[in-house]
A and B are shown apart, each in its own frame.
Chain A
Amino acid sequence: MIYLQLFWEFFKTGLLSIGGGLVTLPFLFSMSESHPEWFTAAQLGNMVAVSESTPGPIGINMATYAGFNAGGIIGSIVATGALVLPSIVIILIIARAYEKYRTSVLVQDSFHIIRPVSTGMIFCALFTLASITLFDQMHIQLIPSALFVVFFILCMSFKKVHPVVWIALGAVSGMALL
Chain B
Amino acid sequence: MSATLWQLFSSFCKIGALTFGGGMAMLPMLEKEVVERHGWASEDELLDFYALGQCTPGIIAVNTATFVGYKQRKDIGGIIATLGVVFPSFVIILLLATVLNAFEGNVYLLKAFSGIRIAVCALILKSVISMARKSVTDIASIFAIIIAIAVNLVLGVSTAFVVLGAIVAGVIYHLVMNRIRMKKEKGSV
Residues of chain A at the chain B interface (Cβ within 8 Å): 12, 14-22, 24-27, 29-30, 42, 45-46, 48-61, 64-65, 68-69, 73, 76, 80, 83-84, 86-88, 90-92, 94-95, 98, 101-102, 105-107, 109-127, 129-130, 133-134, 144, 147-148, 151-152, 154-156, 159, 162-164, 166-167, 169-175, 177-178
B30-87, CB < 8 A from A:
48, 51-63, 66-67, 70-71, 75, 78-79, 82, 85-86
CB distance from B67 to the nearest CB of A (A): 6
Is the contact region of chain A dominated by helix, strand, or loop, or is it mixed? helix
Docked-complex contact A109 and B177, CB < 8 angstroms: yes
Name the contact of B128 in the complex, choosing from A17, A84, A119, A170 (C-beta under 8 A): A119
CB distance from A44 to the nearest CB of B (A): 9
Interface residue count on the B side (C-beta < 8 Å): 96
Residues of A within 8 A of B135 (CB): 19, 115-116, 118-119
12 CB-based A-B contacts, threshold 8 Å: A14-B58, A56-B85, A56-B93, A68-B98, A83-B58, A91-B78, A95-B71, A116-B132, A122-B128, A126-B125, A147-B118, A151-B118
Docked-complex contact A98 and B122, CB < 8 angstroms: no
Bound: A49/B89 CA distance, A: 14
Docked-complex contact A174 and B112, CB < 8 angstroms: yes
CB distance from A21 to the nearest CB of B (A): 4
Residues of B within 8 A of A113 (CB): 140-141, 144, 166, 169-170, 173
Bound: A101/B52 CA distance, A: 8
Docked-complex contact A25 and B60, CB < 8 angstroms: no
Residues of B within 8 A of A52 (CB): 20-21, 120, 123
Docked-complex contact B48 and A102, CB < 8 angstroms: yes
Docked-complex contact A166 and B121, CB < 8 angstroms: no
Bound: A167/B114 CA distance, A: 11
Residues of B within 8 A of A14 (CB): 57-59
Bound: A59/B144 CA distance, A: 24
Docked-complex contact B57 and A15, CB < 8 angstroms: yes
Residues of B within 8 A of A65 (CB): 93, 96-97
15 new A-B contacts at CB < 8 Å, known A16-B164, A112-B173: A22-B124, A50-B93, A52-B123, A84-B58, A90-B58, A109-B177, A110-B167, A116-B148, A117-B145, A118-B135, A121-B152, A133-B114, A170-B120, A171-B113, A178-B114
